[in-house]
Structure 1
Amino acid sequence: MRVLVFQHTAGEHPACFTSLIAEAGDSAHTVRLWEGDDIPDLAAFDAMLVMGGPMDVWEENAHPWLRPEKAAIAEWVGAGRAYLGVCLGHQLLVEAMGGRCAKMVIPEIGVSPVGLTKEGRADGLLAGLPDPLRVMQWHGVEAETLPEGTTLLASNPACHAQAIRVGNRAWGVQFHPEIDEGLVGYWMGDPGNRAAAIEWLGSAKAADQFASDSAAHVPLAAQQSAALYARLRGAV
């Protein structure tokens, strides 16, 4: 299988998915959008994996590559092809397919549970996963209006659309299943990220606790990534 990866910043790379792609005998082509990489011919690929990023989904003036990225996602998903979006990639799916995202009143950051809906418990991506599912969150934007043809798969009180399916083979998850050893520590090593974590959580102590909790969550996240990637492959 050939996977097309859209990456938006150096720090938010496929992480766990990188080894899963290799172990499956698949190949990945990463488009580093923030570096000006061109989007290749979509016909050459079997699945699309879209990662997170610190920018907001509507910041097209600051990040002009968001426009062609959304167009590529709309073309891909409109053709019924297998898609998985993580965090920003989830929000891009929403906006590319006609929905709308907005700033959250209270950002969501930390390891917390999300509950599967009835549809989520029967869905090809999430069926059989624990319910509630403990996941790592770091986002200040949420899907406010879902695209036509969307199925809500998971939710929690902080953010209604935690996981969705658009059509039959395009999924978005607002959380981060991809984290591996050291990734959250790397994110927190960036002064801007750390300042945001302190602001959102209210103190440096709480931010450090978040980093510790996230590091402890890595083995469970690895299981989640493995399940999601296997099911994405099965949708191709």
Structure 2
Amino acid sequence: MRPVLVLTHASHEGPGLIGPAIDGPLQVRTVLDVAEPRLPSLDDVAGVVVMGGPMDADDERHPGLAAERRLLADAVDADVPVLGVCLGMQLLGLALGARLHRRHGTEIGFAPVDVVADDPVLGPLGTRPTVLHWHSDAVDLPSGATLLASTPATPVQAFRAGSALGLQFHPEVTASMLELWLTTPDMTAGLAEDEVVAVRADGARHLPTLVPAAEKALAAFGELARARG
């Protein structure tokens, strides 16, 4: 099987549950600050996964983001399975011509999303799953894409565009990963101590149900990647 390319933007925002769900080789790269990164040919990968990060999807101070957007656009054109998470979804949206809204509305913590359309990958989460949010930017729905999930604060929480799935929320997070985030100053900047305590308590309550559902959802993406081989 060809590897799945995983693009990361922060050391604490790795693939989490996505890795085991793919059940195949991963090629993890960080090209955030590389002006002309040497990314693999799409012919050499089974899929592309783009993770989250604290920067804006159009931040020119991180020149590698432009290369990621070009790769995402090319991947959709080539029908390569793509999964974009949080910043990854925003990069995917920009790659497909949508508009980014900086500081649109902060959502941090566990809260439900309304799933509004069927999707083979998103489906196992259910119709109104409680998921982990950690963002303040938002992106419009790309032209021709299907809206899959929404919240009042963030109308586009998930979308499907051909071979690509964008998720504004974080299905990849495990209990240990959440604890890492809650003890990473870059993640908790701006949060009061009682908010950190609340997110930790909500994680203990919701992750035992969310993780098995997320594993099934991400396994569906893994099946798409393995089918490409």
The Cα of 1:99 is off from its aligned counterpart by: 0.5
Label 1:16 to 1:71 Cα distance change in 2 as closer, same or farther (>3 A). Answer: same
One-letter code of the match for 1:153?
A: L
The count of aligned residue pairs is 222
Alignment of 1:1-236 (within 5 A): 1=1, 2-21=3-22, 24=23, 26-34=24-32, 36=34, 38-60=38-60, 62-117=61-116, 120=117, 122-143=118-139, 145-166=140-161, 168-196=162-190, 198=191, 203-235=192-224, 236=228
Q: Which runs of 5 or more residues in structure 2 are unaligned?
A: none
In 2, Cα distance between equivalents of 1:86 and 1:108 = 15
TM-score normalised by the chain length of structure 1: 0.87
Aligned Cα root-mean-square deviation (Å): 1.8
In 2, Cα distance between equivalents of 1:195 and 1:31 = 26
- Cα deviation per residue 1:10-52 (whole Å; 9 max; x = unaligned)? 110001122223xx3x111111224756312221111111111
One-letter code of the match for 2:198?
A: Q
- Cα deviation per residue 1:154-194 (whole Å; 9 max; x = unaligned)? 1111210111001x221001000001122122122222322
Q: Is the 8 A contact 1:17 1:225 kept in 2?
A: no
Q: Which moved more, 1:40-49 or 1:127-136?
A: 127-136
One-letter code of the match for 2:82?
A: Y
Secondary structure of 1:57's aligned partner: coil
Q: Which has the higher strand share?
A: 1
Label 1:92 to 1:224 Cα distance change in 2 as closer, same or farther (>3 A). Answer: farther
Q: Is the 8 A contact 1:136 1:217 kept in 2?
A: no
Q: Which moved more, 1:128-137 or 1:155-164?
A: 128-137
Percent identity over the alignment? 34
Q: Is the 8 A contact 1:178 1:221 kept in 2?
A: no
- Cα deviation per residue 1:59-104 (whole Å; 9 max; x = unaligned)? 12x2111111111111111222211111111111100111011124
The Cα of 1:124 is off from its aligned counterpart by: 1.9
Q: Which has the higher contact order (CA 8 A, sep 6+)?
A: 2
Runs of 4 or more, structure 1, over 6 Å off, are none
Label 1:173 to 1:192 Cα distance change in 2 as closer, same or farther (>3 A). Answer: same
One-letter code of the match for 2:170?
A: H
In 1, Cα distance between equivalents of 2:25 and 2:41 = 16
TM-score normalised by the chain length of structure 2: 0.89
The Cα of 1:215 is off from its aligned counterpart by: 4.2
The Cα of 1:128 is off from its aligned counterpart by: 4.6
Q: Which moved more, 1:222-231 or 1:176-185?
A: 222-231
Q: Which runs of 5 or more residues in structure 1 are unaligned?
A: none
